[in-house]
Amino acid sequence: MKTIGVIGLGSIGMRHAKNLIAMGHTVLGYDPDDKIQAEFYKINCGLRFYDCPKMDGVVIASPTPNHAADIKQALGNKPDRPIFIEKPVADKMIDLGHSNIMVGYNLRFHSCVKEAKEWLDAGLIGKPIWSNFTLGQFNDRPAYLRDGVILNWSHEIDLCLYLLGPASLANSSTRLTEGKDDMTDILLTHENGCRSTVHLDYVTEPEARAFYIRGTKGTIGANLVSRRAKLWCEPPTAPFRGEDTWNDNYIEEMQAFIDRIDGKETIGCTGGEGLEVLKICLEVRKQAGLS
């Protein structure tokens, strides 16, 4: 069992903390909000993050602008300490010279994604020609209370690169509402010649989260909400239906981080891969006239 620090105990940070505790690990949590910190004490015997200088790894789930400073704090006098950082990864972490970082793109652990990856790696649809990734989820919170879709839904960009390989931004079109991006369409060109479109929005209801990949020999389609996937090729195959849940994916993601601490390779997103996603996000924001 490990001793894991968690910086930031909001919705996602608390989820990671509770899952790690349920997995049998010791969790030392810290949040600058006294009320949130007090709530954490109720479920975890009052352990404090800064009470323990020896941690096997640290989960950073604080606001994005705090990531670089929190990484430095988490490393302390142990520059090789494993770090799990929620997306989007802070670009300033490059300056830290730290490579043992895993980024929180948990769609890689979704059962339909793992099935699609196996189909692609087996060459069942031939060479990929085009793909489309869509995430539409209604969000009517005031613009100042939410991140824009480009950074918030960067999961879909990571998924696109994970399944189809490195890519560069060809073009994008973004709609701004109250100065925030609430809809964007992104065109990517992959090194293998495949062309991908990524649609992200805050206006679709009910939620739509799916992808299609067309190859020279067939097509893959997946609905991430219903956890169903289909492979159209010869010979025909039966549809796939996953039995996992979103929290199952979060638990598997944390297990992958624990495995990373033990020196094992996992399907989790590396710091370098997370930076490639960030570069595309920043280019799309620049094209939209955002800082």
DSSP codes joined into one string, 44-82: TTT--GGG-S--SEEEE-S-GGGHHHHHHHHHTT-TT--
Q: For residue 153, what pLDDT band results from cuts at 50, 70 and 90?
A: very high
pTM: 0.92
Q: Please provide the average confidence, as pLDDT, over all residues in the chain.
A: 90
Q: Is 73 a residue whose pLDDT tops 70? A: yes
DSSP secondary structure letter of residue 235 = S
How far does CA 98 lie from the centroid of its chain?
19
**Overall average pLDDT of the 24-51 stretch:** 77
Distance CA 251, CA 263 (A): 19
pLDDT of res. 144: 58
pLDDT of res. 117: 98
**Overall average pLDDT of the 268-276 stretch:** 91
Instruction: Indicate the pairing of strand 101-103 with strand 269-270.
Output: antiparallel
Question: pLDDT tens across 160-184, in order?
Answer: 999 999 999 999 999 999 889 999 9
Distance CA 270, CA 189 (A): 21
Q: For residue 63, what pLDDT band results from cuts at 50, 70 and 90?
A: confident
Contact 160, 270 (CB under 8 A): no
Residue 60 gets the label, from left (phi > 0), alpha (psi -120 to 50) or beta, of: beta
SS3 state at 177: strand
Q: Is 45 a residue whose pLDDT tops 70? A: no
Task: Give Cβ neighbours of residue 160 (< 8 Å, ≥ 6 apart).
Answer: 131, 133, 167, 188, 196, 198, 211
Question: Residue ranges of the alpha helices (H) in the chain?
Answer: 11-22, 34-43, 67-75, 111-121, 149-152, 155-164, 246-261, 271-287
Q: For residue 72, what pLDDT band results from cuts at 50, 70 and 90?
A: confident
DSSP secondary structure letter of residue 90 = P
Distance CA 127, CA 219 (A): 10
Count of H-run helices and E-run strands, the chain:
8, 14
Torsion sign across C-alpha atoms 260, 263, 266, 272: positive
**Overall average pLDDT of the 24-43 stretch:** 84
Q: Is 48 a residue whose pLDDT tops 70? A: no
Q: For residue 71, what pLDDT band results from cuts at 50, 70 and 90?
A: confident
- Domains with residue ranges and CATH for the chain: 3-106 (3.40.50.720), 111-243 (3.30.360.10)
Quote the percentage of the chain above a pLDDT of 90. 71
The more confidently predicted of residues 17 and 79 is 17
Question: pLDDT tens across 176-224, in order?
Answer: 998 899 999 999 999 999 999 999 999 999 999 999 999 999 999 999 9
In 3D, which of 113, 105, 86 has the Cα closest to residue 225? 113
Question: pLDDT tens across 224-247, in order?
Answer: 999 999 999 988 889 999 999 999
Quote the percentage of the chain above a pLDDT of 70. 92
